[in-house]
Amino acid sequence: MIIKYSPESLGKAGRCLRVLAHPARLLIIHLLGQGERSVQELEKEVGISQSSISQHLNLLKDKDILESRRAAQQVFYRLKNPRLLELTTLTRELFCKE
């Protein structure tokens, strides 16, 4: 393990985890784990307003968790690193047992 517990890395890890620590964003990541989705599709599947979805997506993109491509009017989002699913899976294993 090269990565130290420096104040910087603790801060960065904390900020990234905090962005993940939201039900809607966890669901977005789960869905994107199955393949890319347009904002529209996410809006329907997550069940919150377009504006909220867009704001959540923006937070995740800011943290380099998602990336996107535009196809005509639509924008498709996908996980930047599929290993992120390991983290959400582990989270459920540890905290959602029953």
Stretch of 26-34, 70-78, 80-88, 89-97 lying at the interface with DNA (CB under 7 A): 70-78
| Contacting range for its own copies; rule: CB under 8 A; set: 35-43, 50-58, 67-75, 81-89 | 81-89
Q: How far, in Å, CA of 77 to CA of 41, rounded?
A: 10
Which of left, alpha, beta for 35 (phi over 0: left; psi -120 to 50: alpha)? left
Strand, helix or coil for residue 69: strand
Residues that bind DNA (CB under 7 A): 15, 18, 22, 24, 38-40, 43, 48-52, 54-55, 57-59, 68, 70, 72-76
